[in-house]
Amino acid sequence: MLRWFARRLLLAIPVVWGVVTISFFMMHLAPGDPARTALGEKASDASVAALRHQWGLDQSMPLQYLNYLKQLVHGDLGTSVYYHAPITSLMAQRLPVTIILVVLSAILTMLIAVPLASRSATHPNGLAAVAVRLFNAVVQGAPTFFIGAMLILFLGVRIAIFPAGGYPADIGGRAWALVLPALTIALGTVPIMVRGLRAAMIESYGSEYVAFARSKGLPERPIRYGYVLRNAGISGVSILGIQVGALASGALVIEQVFAIPGMGSMLMTGILNRDYALVQACTLVFGLLVVVVYLGTDLAYARLDPRARLS
Amino acid sequence: MKRLKTLCGAVVLASTVVLTACGGSGTGSGVAQSGGDLVMARADEATSLLPSVPTDNASIWVIEEIYDTLTVPDQSGKSVRPSLATSWTQSSDKLSWTFHLRKDAKFTNGKTVTSADVKFSIEQNQKSDAPFSFIDTVVTAIDTPDPATVVFHTKKPWSPLPADMALYANSIVPNNYGGKSATEFAAHPIGSGPFKFASWSKGSSLKIVKNTKYWRKGTPHLDSVTFTTVPDSNTRATQLASNQIQINEYPSNSSIKTLKAQPNLTVSMFPSSEIDYMSMNVRRAPFNDVNVRKAISLAIDKKAILEAVYYGHGTLAGGFLSPTTWAHNESIKPVPHDVAAAKAALAKSSHPHGFTTTIMVGSGSQDSSSEAQLVQGDLAKIGIKVKIKTLDPSALSTAKHAGNYDMAFGLYTTDIVDPDEIARFAGTYDGGSNTLYSGYKNSKMDSLAATASSSSQQSERKAAYDQMQQIIADNVPYVPLFYVPGIYSYGKVKGFHPAATGNYFLEKVQLTK
């Protein structure tokens, strides 16, 4: 198991390097001058040129790339030209927010998807199953930002249970403020999860081991949770793993809509201002997050299904 | 050019008088109370609180609350009034200005504001890497004969100096940053303004609290102000509706009607120096032909754009200097929409049958995108085929500076109340933007700008600025489109009335019950 995990870890290195390299060149090849953006419209060309020199932007692209890699190896993510602050300190503020948001979304996804999938799998032709299908179609068809806006309108303004956006200073307020954005992201994932889980559960219900358990006279409840859901959970874990990767990108839009100061909104600001160091650092961290989640998914999968370890 | 993003809304008025008459007074309903925390939601976050560093409004308008400047713009944006300096005089040879400082102003660390602090502060903004250093390059030396007197020596007679001293970048910081490095100071700034820095959670909120020892007694009324960053205009609107915030900076145009209909909310439009324009690159054919430029200006139905894109909230622009400045030339009227005249002008040009060109718009700006489509339709009527090209705001700015475009939209505002800065920026080739990126060069414009800045007679200055505006109107390197005010929506707030230069003057603001 340890060797298996170490191999997976080694395989992640080229993935991360690829992310770093692609993001570096994509950002640097895109038009737009960070020095001009930083100094504003009225700064003289001489000031802009001086700043470009100071930041090493007048060097050749391969040299800039090598310098960047060298910097990364030393654990230095650079300084944000937009925020005028070291990126590590910005990350320390922003990363936990996004991680909490993504984890909360994943938990909410499970809390909503499992009962829905379970209900529609046990009564595939019932009214509840039709309602779940309808819910899936509507939620999946609506863009995430629209769902967010609707939630703000009803739960933030009409009923006013949750704040309409923002991120207060106190811990309690923050937890409360994260509910709507997490729910919005979760709702984007729920339909996929429900479909996957439902199909896996229906397949499990038709399997021989369920027929055997029933023939032994085992009640329906332990069969559902001990046999069907446990086995369907294997596919659920992989779906969730893939979706958590997507959740990170969902955070990009949702953090903007709900004014949550996480990595997504920081990345957006970085892109718009050609803040190379900031964008590269965010991309790297998002890349690492996805790699870590996938590793975790593989690990969970291997734990649930020993056949995965053998392969 | 403080504003880096296109304003969501545009309610424009014909003149300052009309602006004031139509605009809100900033007085919400209810009884004013003392104290409380005012929460203002803004689209952008401050980037730095070190006066000589940022160029964005989100920073500038907070800096103006924390620090004092020697002078401050008055509400109308036409002149300056005393602040840290109680009076100022120009020498008889016109080559120096003496400012007398008030003696009761203290920094929040308890130290009295002295001439040494002023000298240090201005010198920070004179450094070549300071984006607004160009404002202070005219100052050759600063003398401090006593703690309450500062003398600025200038390269040439320089009338705009008192207005220059009201610029946020010339805010007064403690000498040598109070013994701290610039980075340390930026993290915990110290000023002598009405509010003092309290905390900053990057990406989320910035809090300033009342300076209880502020020299202007009786103010501020508020205990604190919290600036939150809420990029989405819909979210800001809903936060205001749910009373989570008290002021929404820049409500979207489309929401103004709805907001106005809500009894507990106020939408106010304040005079601003902002002008929206469409620039043409005269370095390239066919825009090097003045008849082509005139044809384009005549063909654009500006009124239709104003109605469709800005929901009618606006005034068509004439002269390139805003009505908020005393130098505005009222005799220059907006170019009328006249397709026949446009065709006639094009017929006289090097491209009588039209041509194909591109217009660049910034991504993420629905307003610019809609404007471009309307311009595309208008120009098609005279045989000019326009392709719309969308670029990131940063890429668009770079392309404009490099002269690598055909036509593009933009906006400009002034940072000081004297017309000098914007007359050079939008009127001269060497003023920072190559005449609003058009590349239009005219030595007459340079000499007029020089005359205006060196003369101490306002009538003489006005004559020069009038002429500059006429030259731009005649040669059309760009089309001034609209005069645009600042728009805010707010709830239980009284006394909120930003200046034409954008200053919030939050020390005058009160929450209401």
Weakest mean pLDDT among A188-192, B7-11, B71-75: B7-11
The chain A residue lying nearest B390, using CA atoms, is: A31
pLDDT at B217 over 80: yes
Residue range(s) defining the domain that contains residue B374:
275-483
Using CB atoms, pick whichever of A165, A269, A272 lies closest to residue B239: A165
* Amino acid found at A182: A
B271-297: average pLDDT: 96
- Asked if the Cβ–Cβ distance from B238 to A36 is below 8 Å, we say no
The chain A residue lying nearest B241, using CA atoms, is: A157
B301 plus B175 within the same structural domain? no
B171 plus B310 within the same structural domain? no
Answer whether residue B512 is part of any domain.
no
* Amino acid found at A204: S
Number of DSSP helices (H) and strands (E) in chain B, helices first: 16, 20
- Asked if the Cβ–Cβ distance from B398 to A31 is below 8 Å, we say yes
Which of the pair, A261 or B208, is modelled with greater confidence?
A: B208
- Chain A CB contacts of B60 below 8 Å: none
Q: Which range has the top average pLDDT, A120-134, A188-202, B231-245, B497-511?
A: B497-511
Which of the pair, B225 or A10, is modelled with greater confidence?
A: B225
The pLDDT, as a whole number, for residue B29 is 59
Q: Determine the distance in angstroms separating the CA of A257 from the nearest CA of chain B, rounded to an integer.
A: 5
The pLDDT, as a whole number, for residue A45 is 81
pLDDT at B7 over 70: no
pLDDT at A98 over 60: yes
Mark out the alpha helices in B300-442 (DSSP H runs).
302-310, 339-347, 366-380, 393-401, 420-427
The pLDDT, as a whole number, for residue A232 is 81
- Asked if the Cβ–Cβ distance from B397 to A32 is below 8 Å, we say yes
Answer whether residue B442 is part of any domain.
yes
- CB distance B433 to A39 below 8 Å: no
Mean pLDDT of all residues belonging to chain B = 90
B325-353: average pLDDT: 96
pLDDT at A142 over 60: yes
pLDDT at A234 over 70: yes
- Chain A CB contacts of B238 below 8 Å: 152-153, 156-157, 164-165
Reported as type and span, the H/E element at residue B298 is helix B290-299
Q: Indicate the residue among B160, B182, B204 that finishes a domain.
A: B182
Which of the pair, A99 or B279, is modelled with greater confidence?
A: B279
The pLDDT, as a whole number, for residue B262 is 84
Model confidence at A299, in pLDDT bands (50, 70, 90)? confident
B440 plus B337 within the same structural domain? yes
Weakest mean pLDDT among A57-66, A203-212, B280-289, B389-398: A203-212
Measured CA distances, B3 to A243, B6, B54 (Å): 39, 7, 12
3-state SS string over B218-264?
A: CCCCCCEEEEEECCCHHHHHHHHHCCCCCEEECCCHHHHHHHHHCCC
B397-424: average pLDDT: 93
- CB distance B73 to B80 below 8 Å: yes
Q: Determine the distance in angstroms separating the CA of B92 from the nearest CA of chain A, rounded to an integer.
A: 32
- Asked if the Cβ–Cβ distance from A152 to B203 is below 8 Å, we say no
Model confidence at B21, in pLDDT bands (50, 70, 90)? very low
B45-60: average pLDDT: 91
Tell me the CATH number at B352: 3.10.105.10
The pLDDT, as a whole number, for residue B193 is 97
Weakest mean pLDDT among A217-226, B84-93, B289-298: A217-226
The pLDDT, as a whole number, for residue A205 is 84
- CB distance B196 to B108 below 8 Å: yes
Mean pLDDT of all residues belonging to chain A = 85
- Asked if the Cβ–Cβ distance from A165 to B235 is below 8 Å, we say yes
DSSP class of residue A167 equals: -
Q: Indicate the residue among B149, B164, B182 that finishes a domain.
A: B182
Q: Determine the distance in angstroms separating the CA of A147 from the nearest CA of chain B, rounded to an integer.
A: 13
- Chain A CB contacts of B394 below 8 Å: 32-34, 36-37, 272-274
Q: Indicate the residue among B182, B212, B229 that finishes a domain.
A: B182
- Chain A CB contacts of B4 below 8 Å: 40
Answer whether residue B4 is part of any domain.
no
- Asked if the Cβ–Cβ distance from A42 to B433 is below 8 Å, we say yes
Share of chain B above pLDDT 70, in %: 94
Q: Determine the distance in angstroms separating the CA of B4 from the nearest CA of chain A, rounded to an integer.
A: 8
Answer whether residue B13 is part of any domain.
no
Task: Dig out the tokens for B395 from the structure.
Answer: 């890429």
- Asked if the Cβ–Cβ distance from B129 to A258 is below 8 Å, we say no
d(C-alpha B333, C-alpha A244), whole Å: 58
* Amino acid found at B462: K
Interface test with A, best of B135, B229, B398 (most A CBs within 10 A): B398
Answer whether residue B90 is part of any domain.
yes
φ and ψ at residue B142, rounded to 5 degrees: -125, 120
The chain B residue lying nearest A30, using CA atoms, is: B395
Model confidence at B363, in pLDDT bands (50, 70, 90)? confident
- Chain B CB contacts of A46 below 8 Å: 128
Using CB atoms, pick whichever of A167, A169, A259 lies closest to residue B232: A259
- Chain A CB contacts of B231 below 8 Å: 256, 259, 265, 268
Which of the pair, B63 or A304, is modelled with greater confidence?
A: B63
d(C-alpha B379, C-alpha B494), whole Å: 46
- Chain B CB contacts of A163 below 8 Å: 239, 242, 244
Answer whether residue B234 is part of any domain.
no
B178 plus B291 within the same structural domain? no
Nearest CA-CA partner of B248 in B268, B264, B262, B263 = B268
Q: Which range has the top average pLDDT, B32-36, B198-202, B254-258, B294-298?
A: B294-298
The pLDDT, as a whole number, for residue B118 is 98
Measured CA distances, A219 to A124, A183, A202, A214, A229 (Å): 19, 34, 17, 7, 15
Query: Which long-range CB contacts under 8 A does A239-242 form with residues at least 24 apart?
Result: A239/A192, A239/A193, A239/A196, A239/A197, A240/A106, A240/A109, A240/A110, A240/A189, A240/A193, A240/A297, A241/A293, A241/A294, A241/A296, A241/A297, A241/A298, A241/A300, A241/A301, A242/A297
Answer whether residue B337 is part of any domain.
yes
Answer whether residue B261 is part of any domain.
no
Task: Dig out the tokens for B418 from the structure.
Answer: 């004297």
pLDDT at B10 over 50: no
* Amino acid found at B439: G
CB pairs under 8 A between A and B: 157
Using CB atoms, pick whichever of A54, A82, A166 lies closest to residue B230: A166
Task: Dig out the tokens for A263 from the structure.
Answer: 């990595």
Using CB atoms, pick whichever of A84, A166, A167 lies closest to residue B48: A84
B171 plus B286 within the same structural domain? no
B162 plus B303 within the same structural domain? no
Q: Determine the distance in angstroms separating the CA of B259 from the nearest CA of chain A, rounded to an integer.
A: 14
Query: Which long-range CB contacts under 8 A does B139-148 form with residues at least 24 apart?
Result: B142/B118, B144/B114, B144/B115, B144/B116, B144/B118, B144/B119, B145/B115, B146/B115, B147/B101, B147/B112, B147/B114, B147/B115, B147/B116, B148/B100, B148/B101, B148/B102, B148/B103, B148/B114, B148/B115
The pLDDT, as a whole number, for residue B55 is 87
Interface test with B, best of A37, A41, A151 (most B CBs within 10 A): A41
- Asked if the Cβ–Cβ distance from B244 to A166 is below 8 Å, we say yes
Which of the pair, B142 or A160, is modelled with greater confidence?
A: B142
Classified as helix, coil or strand, B490 is strand
| Domain annotation for chain A: domains and CATH numbers | 20-87 (no CATH), 88-304 (1.10.3720.10)
The chain B residue lying nearest A268, using CA atoms, is: B231
**What ipTM was reported for this prediction?**
0.76
User: Based on the structure, what is the number of domains in chain B?
Assistant: 2
The pLDDT, as a whole number, for residue B332 is 97
Q: 């201005």: which residue's tokens? A: B122
Task: Dig out the tokens for B396 from the structure.
Answer: 């668009």
Whole-model pTM?
0.83
pLDDT at B28 over 70: no
- Chain A CB contacts of B425 below 8 Å: 42
